[in-house]
Chains A and B, each alone.
Chain A
Amino acid sequence: MFKWLPASKNHSFIVNLCAFCTTLLLLVLLSLLAFVFTKGSGYFLSPPVYQVSYKDDNGKQHIVFAQFPSGYSENFSGRVTASTENTIYQAQLPLHSRQISNIEKRSDVANISLIDGRKLFAVPQHIRSSKDLKVSLSELDKYLNIIDDIREEIDEIKQNELTEIDKILASVDKSSPSINPIQQSALLKYQSLQKTIAELENKRDTFSLNMADVKGESIAIVLADIHSISFPSNMTWIGKIKHAFNLLWLFLSENPKQSNTAGGIFPALFGTVVMVLLMTLIVAPFGVLSAVYIHEYAPNNLLVTAMRVCISNMAAVPAIVYGVFGLGFLVYVVGGNIDALFFSDALPAPTMGAPSIFWASVTMALLTLPVVIVATDEGLNRVPQGLRKGSYALGATKSETIWYTVLPIASPSIITGIILAIARAAGEVAPLMLLGAVRFAPQLPVDSEFPFVHLERQFMHLGVFIYDGAFSTQINPQGASMMFATCSLLLLVVLFLNIVAVTLRARLRERYQ
């Protein structure tokens, strides 16, 4: 067949070429993973802090507290995280080791993270309490605990009693001029609670931490603003690992801060999961049912063949086209009409006629439909004819045969298709940006407020989060490690889904062999 290949020597050349290409591919893939994971892990590591004296390009001398991304080395060149003389808050600073005139490890420098997400390097000195008493640093944990208790107390009052009163006040008829006694007492209670809260807040804010910045000048920060304090240069290995896990937990469970460059990604993770679940609920039944129709019921004519070709080609339509379709048709036309029919009271404020997690899920379902249909179609194709005949011969109708015999046997392929669809949807960004995925959503799409699932809300999404992070790091390099950490998380989510798919398929194959 390969007559145009002159001799066996060339065959070995071709084999070598193939091997080379495969190796190259593997290397690229591995370096991608390695790059993303090392960059991402920077978010959780705490290398030691140094006091660095260096000359900038203009020959001016500076002194900073700096943290090198993976420890200090003789010929370092890159960005360090530093608190400078100008600002005590940490920023990214380009630095080359040849600029450095003096470097010294400082085990007394603390990495202090504030509640609002900002961080700073400083040397803690003492705690100051209300009566201007100086308290030694060893009592720090005690005071942090006291403040945590106060904070919890405030939260509890706000959550339970205030919402209760809010409800009572809201339920009162506004049109009647006289104030009824229930309302009166509620109002009084409200005022007294507000007072209690103010007192508690005052008490909370009386404690502050005095510390020295890099110039040795003393500054004070209210203890209640401090989230956590750690001494990176002074940590044992176990301490570092503990700290890393602590940070990982915060990363997964907290809201983002400082315009998505600090804090956690919980809302994005949650939004992604909810969107993907919704999408699965839509795409799985539609995809499987249409594949069953095409494969089992549709006549075998030109039209159906054309439809098959179209469906496989739909997978190649760029995602942004789906996004435009979703926005232009689903949101404005379909959603707008739903609003006009069912939510006309609220108009002109849109209910369904605005980008939301629901329309994002529907559009993603459309986008991933071909994956599910093609996989199911292949699965149906593999069901042996003998088993169908066996089922018919026992008096099963066509639908019974499909339901009890054909679909269970095709289930490994169906599950594979669905999981591939999920993995695709979890990573897709472009259409979501048009359809309600935002940088910051004040509310989650699912919460404890009736009716619990709010499909009309906008949401946050890991992919959009990364996209946003990637653009803003050009302006604000601090977010980079957070963005890479999010990338790693997304990779892990997709990897996890694929592992689930493979094991599930193996299980089902074994069961329906």
Chain B
Amino acid sequence: MHDFENVTNNIGDITFMLKLFNYDKPNVYQLSDEQTAIKVNNLNLSFGEKPVLRDINLRIPKHQITAFIGQSGCGKSTLLGCFNRMNELATDCKVSGEVFINKRNINSKKENVSRLRASVGMVFQKPNPFPMNIYDNVSYGLRLQGLKERRKMDDAVERALVDAALWEEVKDRLFEPASILSGGQQQRLVIARALALEPEILLLDEPTSALDPLTTLIIEELMVELKKRCTVIIVTHNMQQASRVSDYTAFMHQGEVVEFSDSDTLFTMPQKKKTEDYITGRYG
């Protein structure tokens, strides 16, 4: 188990390190293609008649944590859903523009959506473990990929649970229903479920909004650990969280990206009035 003081110390270390490396961070508007995980060109999206995203252009840096912040309803979740085409589950959704992942425009008709979603993991605001046992939850994606060998599956499940910092707590009850886990454990379980597929990109939509501060810290620590192996994008309403864990932050307002830069700059020297109002709490 994690000891509270230990965790806070770790987080302290991380923020310290972030400060140290701050000046090494390249400008988001000058990223090379190698440094880019996702490139978004002129993205517009509307649900029915209602425009939700307007003319989005940005590059998400590879192997970094990028945070989306902004007022409720400004389109953060929708933008996140553009990276694995989850929005099209709503029948009245219309998208235009391009989203490039690995130089492929994922909005093209030829894109294999299942394979895309397997390589771009997503974790939702409310933990949604399947009503199965823990093992089956984690191996769900692998089974869909056609993995049958039991030993490989066991290894992958263990690795994913270790990566999601859940292994120690569940290793003796892998075959019990996931519903017996606590909220925080369930959230880590769904993260493990996504990690089992070894995604290139991990999308986290307010992953800690339902959790207590200690569990939140565990998951934040996890994110920092995860960015070594994948690009992490997180939506959050928690300004401290965004400044603590994210390398880059985008501020959104009414479907537009108002300001996007490395987190330190955005939180200490915001360039736009709206951003400043929002992060100082004067807005809305």
Contacts of A475 in B (CB 8 A): none
Q: Which of B45-53, B110-118, B212-220, B226-234 contacts A (4 or more CB under 8 A)?
A: B110-118
Contact B177–A400 (Cβ < 8 Å): no
For residue B75, CB closer than 8 A to chain A, the reply is: no
Given A389-B89, A390-B128, A390-B190; A395-B179 close (CB under 8 Å)? no
22 A-B pairs, CB-CB below 8 angstroms? A389-B128, A390-B128, A390-B130, A390-B190, A391-B130, A392-B86, A393-B117, A394-B117, A394-B140, A394-B141, A394-B144, A394-B194, A395-B116, A395-B117, A395-B141, A396-B114, A396-B140, A404-B140, A404-B143, A405-B130, A511-B177, A513-B177
Interface residues of B (CB under 8 A from A): 84, 86, 89, 114-118, 121-122, 124, 126, 128-132, 140-141, 143-145, 177, 179, 190, 193-194, 197
Determine the distance from Cα of A154 to Cα of B269 in the docked complex, in whole angstroms.
Answer: 107
Choose among B121, B126, B131 the residue that contacts A393 (Cβ–Cβ < 8 A): B121
Contact A394–B193 (Cβ < 8 Å): yes
Determine the distance from Cα of A400 to Cα of B113 in the docked complex, in whole angstroms.
Answer: 13
Contact A395–B144 (Cβ < 8 Å): yes
Q: Which residue of B lies closest to A400 (CB)?
A: B144
Binary CB contact string for chain A from 32 to 51 against chain B (1 if under 8 A, 0 otherwise): 00000000000000000000
Contact B117–A392 (Cβ < 8 Å): yes
Chief secondary structure at chain A's binding surface: helix
How many residues of chain A have a CB within 8 Å of chain B? 21
For residue A386, CB closer than 8 A to chain B, the reply is: yes
Closest Cβ of chain B: how far from A125's Cβ, in Å?
A: 73
For residue A409, CB closer than 8 A to chain B, the reply is: yes
Contact A394–B118 (Cβ < 8 Å): yes
For residue A397, CB closer than 8 A to chain B, the reply is: yes
Contacts of A397 in B (CB 8 A): 114
CB contacts under 8 Å to B, within A400-445, are 400, 404-405, 408-409
Binary CB contact string for chain A from 287 to 302 against chain B (1 if under 8 A, 0 otherwise): 0000000000000000
Determine the distance from Cα of A400 to Cα of B117 in the docked complex, in whole angstroms.
Answer: 14
Choose among A393, A511, A513 the residue that contacts B86 (Cβ–Cβ < 8 A): A393
Closest Cβ of chain A: how far from B182's Cβ, in Å?
A: 16
Q: Which residue of B lies closest to A393 (CB)?
A: B122
Closest Cβ of chain A: how far from B86's Cβ, in Å?
A: 7
Q: Which residue of B lies closest to A387 (CB)?
A: B128
For residue A384, CB closer than 8 A to chain B, the reply is: yes
Closest Cβ of chain A: how far from B144's Cβ, in Å?
A: 5
Determine the distance from Cα of A145 to Cα of B209 in the docked complex, in whole angstroms.
Answer: 82
Closest Cβ of chain A: how far from B78's Cβ, in Å?
A: 14
For residue A329, CB closer than 8 A to chain B, the reply is: no
Determine the distance from Cα of A511 to Cα of B178 in the docked complex, in whole angstroms.
Answer: 10
